[in-house]
Structure 1
Amino acid sequence: MPTSSPDSPVADSPIPILTTVRDYRAWRAQATSDGKSVGFVATMGALHDGHLKLVQASLQENDYTVVSIFVNPAQFAPTEDLASYPRTVQADIAKLASLSDNVSQSDRRVNVAFVPSVKEMYPNGFTQVVADQIGAFVEVKGLSHQMEGGSRPTFFRGVATVVTKLFHIIQPDKTYFGQKDIQQSIVLRRLVSDLVFSHPPSPESLRVIPTGRDPNDNLALSSRNAYLTPDSRQVAPVLYRALKTGQDIWEQSHWTDANKEERIRVTLDRARAVVLERAEKCCQDGRGVDLKLDYISLNHPKTLENLEQVLAEKGAEAVDVSQGAIFSGAALVSQGKDGKVTRLIDNLLLGFTL
């Protein structure tokens, strides 16, 4: 059975690195023969503590754990940061090798890193221009155009396509995603359900782990945080503060079904004001940090309907807040004329759990 590919990106890796579908499937066939459960964490590398939380959950719940490292070009628009996205495979492997299941005392460790090339994942070629793409791609209608999809209209098409490929290759019994990318998790659970995947065997087998945060200021951990300058890093936690401000409004005890229109309006207004006020300060403090609010929205936890939009188009009677709401936002921060723009995203769950 193969333990590493000859074109492994890390010499003398402490974890077997497989770079081809053929080699991985040979490994998976042996795991199946041995009756072992397989947990899976899909990543684009540049691993941080948030990723490691997902891996730790898999170690605790499965006999074997597989982690993929693949920067998927299909989820980047031509204008986005594909070329500059951080690639740190050697450091990533070292972080994975340092993990073990210290809860059940089983000494489980990451068994395989799957690190394919673009050619391996897109054997018939690939272009980022959607209009020029030929072949099989996957879309999840109705859940991909709002929230993050409003600013990144091809993003979830790329995510659904690559995750379909990875699920077919890896054949996970359970798979782990972070709450920070909550829309992604909802899209993928629907994908698993609608296309009747055998691996993972059910939407519930796609586990959503709470967002990893900086312990000092609660900034959601992200590989793109590496783009932040010291000054813009000080500004970045404003999105979390804005969402917490709105959460405090939403959870006040005086709200009833009769005044849900005001509840939605005040929650959004107060949260947006936090970011906009900080953006104004950035303009005035002379440090050259530019902060822009992309969106803050309240969405239905299952349909992802924008509650503010439903309110405006159909009236308060059409708005359902009985199942809670996803409270999410995105902002863009950069420093200097030529500074790298960092996209910040975050969310809080209001009145429900995943």
Structure 2
Amino acid sequence: MTPKIIRTIVELRQAIAEFRKLSEDNRSVGFVPTMGYLHEGHASLLRQSASDNGLTVLSIFVNPLQFGPNEDLDKYPRDEERDIKVAATAGTNIIFIPALSEMYPNQALTHISVSEITERLCGASRPGHFDGVAIVVTKLFNIVQPDRAYFGLKDAQQLAVISQMTQDLNIPVEIVPCPILREEDGLALSSRNVYLDEDQRSQALILSQSLSASTDWIQAGISASELIAKLKAEISKAPLAKIDYVDVLTYPNLSQLNKDRPLNENNNDLLIAVAVYFGKTRLIDNRLLNPVEVGEGLCFAK
């Protein structure tokens, strides 16, 4: 299948309206918003959408509003030709690739902020990041008007923020979370992995290894503060690792826990999340689980 490449909002809306008008069977529209440089994780979202819906729309737009002053906006990897090939093999029907001037023809005077759940983890170390995510995702939802939108659990905080935003604003779209995809050695797939040199790539495996070990530590009855300390100590064994944060929170409301209470006595779903720099490359990873099920040997990490 060769996807249709669309670069303007008007043309995209016309194409989707035509599909809904003419389709006789599955008229639902699935949507996967991305910043491009697609990998197998993105492809898995597109395949899921293609399985669930009659039309799958992919957007590729590097959104400047979610980058801070010292972040990698200018260096963010871009490869449109490669992205189109990946999208084509995953069953994508339409690829929306707008220019900056198409998405933001004028200075935006409207702001969307989700409070509380944006104040921790990446929100604490990247102020304003989720405001940028909220405005661009809202714009894209209004442009595409999908029935379902697909997001990976690797950025679990982003997923929580978007889910809360769509609920609060009554945006009529189903948010579909999809599992983290990893390389064979465990490294979570990320567009930023291309920045890692050989030593950094090798040492970055400490993230998935430490998170995997957390299941056994929780089963042994450690508290949140003890788990955080053990994760930091484990990650610090990699000489090139510079920890941004390590935390354990309830999910999806990202509230703080009693840090001294054994985690295996907690009935809430928990997010164990880490962000670590290897050189100038910031990687995130997480493990989502339920302590009671861990105690029964039924960890549902995603």
With the length of structure 1 as denominator, give the TM-score of the two structures: 0.78
Q: Which amino acid aligns with 1:75?
A: Q
The answer to whether 1:94 aligns with 2:54 is no
Contact 2:68 2:128 (8 Å CA) reproduced: yes
SS across alignment from 1:294: strand
AA paired with 1:226?
Answer: V
Q: Which residue of 1 aligns with 2:231?
A: 271
Q: Deviating runs (4+, > 4 A) in structure 1?
A: none
- Aligned residue for 2:236, secondary structure, equals helix
2:16 to 14, 28, 36: 28
The size of the alignment, in residue pairs, is 289
Matched, 1:121 2:111: no
Q: Which secondary structure state, in structure 1, belongs to the residue aligned with residue 248 of structure 2? A: strand
The 8 Å contact of residues 39 and 64 in structure 1, kept in 2 or not, is answered as yes
SS in 2 for 1:156: helix
**Does the alignment pair 1:347 with 2:286?**
yes
Letter in 2 for 1:302: P
- Any conservation in 2 of the 1:146–1:306 contact (CA below 8 Å)? no
Whether the 8 Å contact between 1:245 and 1:270 is mirrored in structure 2 is no
Q: Are residue 222 (structure 1) and residue 182 (structure 2) matched? A: no
Q: Give 1:237's match in structure 2, choosing from 205, 229, 239.
A: 205
Deviation, 1:16, is 1.0
Partner Cα distance (2:84, 2:151) in 1 = 19
CA offsets 1:195-244 (integer angstroms, 9 cap, x no match): 0012x1xxxx21111101001x1100000001001111111111111112
Aligned counterparts of 2:201 and 2:117: Cα–Cα separation in 1: 31
Structure 1 portions without partners, runs of 5+: 1-12, 100-108, 126-133, 256-261, 283-289, 335-340
Q: Using the TM superposition, give the Cα deviation of residue 247 of structure 1 relative to its aligned residue in structure 2, in angstroms.
A: 2.4
Could you say which residue in structure 2 is the equivalent of 1:144? 118
How far 1:316 moved relative to its partner? 5.3
TM-aligned CA deviation for residue 31 of structure 1: 1.9
Q: Do residues 208 (structure 1) and 196 (structure 2) align?
A: no
For residues 58-97 of structure 1, the aligned pairs below 5 Å read: 58-97=49-88
C-alpha separation between the residues in 2 aligned to 1:303 and 1:97?
36
Structure 2 residue ranges without an equivalent (≥5): 291-299
TM-score after normalising by structure 2? 0.91
Counterpart position of 2:92: 110
The CA RMSD over aligned residues, in Å, is 2.0
Query: Are the equivalent residues in 2 in contact too, given 1:180–1:211 (CA < 8 A)?
Result: yes
Give CA deviations for 1:78-97 in whole Å, capped at 9, x if unaligned.
11000000011111001111
Select 2:44's aligned residue among 53, 58, 66. 53
